Amino acid sequence: MNPYLILGVPPEADDSTIRRAYLTAVKEAPPDTHPQRFQAVSAAYDQIKDEPSRRRHILFDRECPGDSPLDVLRQFARARRSAPLPFEPMKEYLRNCWKS
């Protein structure tokens, strides 16, 4: 999955922003309680921690975020699992489910 997405930073983020996001993510997902998430966060940080890494990521990234379009959706939602829908979109979501 896209390292920017995992760390929740925009592509134009600088080193210090990325570092801060990484530390926050690690704090939220320490290796002893969230080993998989921690691994993903560490790998993401390694890919974009400084300018040369970010350029290399642009040129040579080959990581596929899923096996099929729907798997991408699933992986994407999983990657964002720690961020639930805000209240208003959640309200909208439930009302849509009612109508369906």
Partner 1 sequence: MNSESLTNPDAAALLERQVQTFLAGGKFRKARDEAKLLRKLDPARGLPLLIRANVGLARDMMAKRQVSEAEQVLAYLATIASPAELVAVQAEMAGHTGNFSEAAPGALRRLAEAGASLPESERWRLADLAVVAFGGLPTGDPATERVVVELRAIQDALRAVTEREWGAAQDALRPLPQSSAFSHWKLFLKGLIAFHQDDMVRAARCFAGLPSETLPAKAGVAYQWLLGTGDGPAARALPAESTIESASRLAGHPGLGRVLYRAEQLWRERKPGPSYGAVRDGLAQFPSERPDLVGALTDFYFNSLFNAAPPICERLAEWFDRWLEQRKPGHALERALMLRALSQFYLGSVSAIELKLNWHGFIEAYEMVHGPDPRLASLAYGWLGEQLAAAPPREAIAFFGRPQAMFDSAGAVAALERSVNLDPLNLEAALRLCDVYEALRRPSERNRLLDAMVEQFPENKAVLLRAARRCVDRKAFAKGLDYLARARALDLLDPGLIHQTVRALFGQAGEHFKRQRPGAARAALDQVLALAVDQPANLACGRWCLLTRRAAIEEALGDPALADDLLAQARVSCPAPEALLLYAHLAQLASQRARTHQSTRFSREFVSRHLKSASARHALLLLRIQEFWAGLEDEESPTHLDDPLVRQYLAAAQKTPFTDDEARRLAEHVRPESASFHAVTGFARRVLARDPKHPWFRLFQLTSQDFGLEGGAAETRELEAIVEEANRRGDAETAQRAQGLLDRPPSPDSPFPPPPETWMDPKDDEAEDEEMGRGGLPAGFDQLDPNAAGQIEEIIALLGRLSERELQKTRKSMLKSGMPALVFDTLAEAARGGGPVPDLSPTLKPKPPESKPPPRDPNQLDLF
Segment 14-73, which members bind partner 1 (CB under 8 A)?
A: 34, 37, 51-52, 55-56, 58-66, 68-70, 72-73
Q: Report d(CA 70, CA 52) in Å as an integer.
A: 32
Q: Which residues, 6 or more positions from 41, have their beta carbon under 8 angstroms from its beta carbon?
A: 6, 7, 22, 25, 26, 29
Q: Report d(CA 83, CA 31) in Å as an integer.
A: 19
CB 72 within 8 A of CB 28: no
Instruction: Please state the closest distance from residue 66 (CB atom) to partner 1, in A.
Output: 6
Among 16, 27, 32, 99, binds partner 1 (CB under 8 A): 99
Is residue 100 close enough to count as binding partner 1 by CB under 8 A? yes
Residues near partner 1 (CB under 8 A) are 1-2, 4-5, 8-11, 34, 37, 51-52, 55-56, 58-66, 68-70, 72-78, 80-87, 89-100
